[in-house]
Structure 1
Amino acid sequence: MTTSQSEVGPSSPSRSIGTGGRVKGQTPGVPSTVDLALQVLEYLVESRAPVALTDLAKTFGTSKATVYRHLQALVKHGFARQDEVTSRYEAGIKLLLLGEALRERYSILSCARAQMSSLREATGQAISLSALINDEVVILELLQGRTVVEFGIRPGTRMDLHATAHGKTALAFGPAHLLDDLLASPLKKWTSETVTSASLLKIAIKAVQKQGWATAADGIVWGVNGLAAPVFDHRNQYAGAIAIIGSVHDIPDHPSKELIELVIGAAGQISRSLGYTKT
């Protein structure tokens, strides 16, 4: 059984098309050469299947000749590839190589791999690692568990702050402005269990700060929960979180003491590897 959603929500492309077929956020007027090339590249990365030249031209509201020139440059440098049979385009392998190199720059990932593997062996559940990047909680790595459920989270997936265990952990231990910024807009209600009340969310975050861990049962997807604990760096500042993800049967909203100790223990080991010293 495979699910394309987990406690982090949809993993499908989030590009939204505005008036006239242009992508929202596109530079007003005629986009520059670099603007369009980067937008095409991002679209290819987020697409689940190769895309036809005609469809790309329609999406970006420009001519096929213009898009074709950008695609040929991307193909030349390995950022895109063209299927020899269908002539459709998709993201190239060079992006994967660059992405792996960039992920390694986040030292939390290299320090966490051994603990992630050990935690999976101890719990049998899927293990995810996140970091706070530009005030967004982003998944750096996922290890699938030993259960029949497979989660569709990918490195780079952004986590909802109010509806996921990773997000609540960031709100509790990350920069104070995260919660204020989040509550400046209405909170999305994914399920009937999603916390959308500002007052209730504040109470929940205080509880996370006190207990040192967070859960988010049914927050994004029914039947799925996560149990996360914070990771701190050598500056004694929030660096990210490690979590186990599974069914609410295996990870209830109030997890067993054993599960909590395992997750907090793994987070503590990673923190110490990053140079954290408890004050």
Structure 2
Amino acid sequence: MDLLNLFLAHIKLSMNDMVELSGIPKTSVHRMIGSLEEMGFVKKDNDGQYSLGLLFLQFGNLVAERLDIRHIAISVMEKLRDDIGEAVHLALRDGQESIYIEKLDTNHPVRLFTKIGRKAPLYAGASSRTILAFMPEHERDAYLDEIELKPIGSGTIMDKEELRASLELSRRTGYSFSRSELENYTAELSAPIFDHTGQIIAALSIAGLEVQFGEEKMADLIYKVKTAAHEISQKLGFIETA
């Protein structure tokens, strides 16, 4: 990363330039830049000058495509927020975590303290668990095999068999629900958003104080969150098959 960061301010750099600017020994620079070139992160021209490789264009386009979902989802999120009066979140997967990329707050005097950029492990919270539940099976199994469950809130799931059962329930019902998993006395209800290939791309959720999610409200809230998530999926080109 020290070497790659040099290209933020320089279009092209020679081996000697990188040694001088980074302060890294030449033998180490030579070894690392060779690996970066082999992987496609940098390319070398006929004059021996290095520049960023086209692989970054691919990654950049991927990031742009995924963040475009904010613009696509916002009108649906606003409608959902105004309808139910609870905070609405949009979350993406970021490695072994989920990350909020959009949030619409409510006018409630007592509100959740969440913000765009907040992360949570994939096993904790409804949004995270929705993403985990609908990930490709081999990725989900690999994650479950290696992850160590740690308590965050009083309701965080700490047993892997219980977690697996919860994920299966989410896949079967099309939504996830959590109580006090990330913050005590709070609840979150989430549904998956799929892209045009049928792969999960994000999770839509509503969240608020636990007392706002009484049993008498749940059926209506589940329907509205799932409907909103499906509407966003359709805007992304998702076509549900029988």
Amino acid at match of 1:130: A
Equivalent positions of 1:164-183 (< 5 A) are 164-176=125-137, 177-183=139-145
| Separation in 1, partners of 2:110, 2:233 | 29
| Separation in 1, partners of 2:199, 2:4 | 40
Q: 1:252, CA displacement in angstroms?
A: 4.4
Bigger fraction of residues in helix: 2
Instruction: Name whichever of 176-185 and 218-227 sits farther off.
Output: 176-185
Equivalent positions of 1:96-111 (< 5 A) are 106-111=67-72
Deviations 1:163-214 (A, max 9, x none): 1001110111123213432441320112342111111100010011111110
CA gap of 1:165–1:179, structure 2 versus 1, over 3 A, is farther
When normalised by structure 2's length, the TM-score is 0.69
Match in the other structure for 1:246 = 208
Q: 1:103, CA displacement in angstroms?
A: 6.7
Whether contact under 8 Å (2:111, 2:209) holds in the other structure is no
Calculate the aligned-residue CA RMSD, in Å.
2.5
Whether contact under 8 Å (2:132, 2:167) holds in the other structure is yes
SS at match of 1:151: coil
Q: 1:154, CA displacement in angstroms?
A: 2.3
Whether contact under 8 Å (1:229, 1:242) holds in the other structure is yes
Match in the other structure for 1:237 = 199
Match in the other structure for 2:79 = 118
Choose between structure 1 and 2 for higher RCO, CA contacts under 8 A separated by at least 6 residues.
1
| Separation in 2, partners of 1:170, 1:32 | 33
Q: Which runs of 5+ in 1 are unaligned?
A: 1-26, 38-101
Percent identical: 27
Q: 2:228 aligns with which of 266, 271, 277?
A: 266
CA gap of 1:158–1:214, structure 2 versus 1, over 3 A, is same
SS at match of 2:148: coil
Q: 1:33, CA displacement in angstroms?
A: 10
Match in the other structure for 2:153 = 191
Whether contact under 8 Å (2:144, 2:160) holds in the other structure is no
Q: Does 2:92 align with 1:138?
A: no
Deviations 1:37-74 (A, max 9, x none): 9xxxxxxxxxxxxxxxxxxxxxxxxxxxxxxxxxxxxx
| Separation in 2, partners of 1:134, 1:110 | 23
Whether contact under 8 Å (2:126, 2:189) holds in the other structure is yes
| Separation in 2, partners of 1:260, 1:229 | 8
| Separation in 2, partners of 1:187, 1:256 | 28
| Separation in 2, partners of 1:184, 1:111 | 34
CA gap of 1:179–1:123, structure 2 versus 1, over 3 A, is farther
Deviations 1:129-159 (A, max 9, x none): 0122345321110011131223332222212
| Separation in 1, partners of 2:87, 2:66 | 23
Matched residue pairs, number?
185
SS at match of 1:256: helix
Query: Segments of 4+ in structure 1 off by > 4 A?
Result: 31-35, 102-105, 252-255
| Separation in 2, partners of 1:104, 1:233 | 11
Whether contact under 8 Å (1:128, 1:143) holds in the other structure is yes
Instruction: Name whichever of 264-273 and 253-262 sits farther off.
Output: 253-262
When normalised by structure 1's length, the TM-score is 0.60
Q: Does 2:148 align with 1:224?
A: no
| Separation in 2, partners of 1:248, 1:269 | 26
Q: 1:224, CA displacement in angstroms?
A: 0.4
| Separation in 2, partners of 1:104, 1:148 | 36
Q: 1:254, CA displacement in angstroms?
A: 8.8
| Separation in 1, partners of 2:141, 2:99 | 17
Amino acid at match of 2:108: T
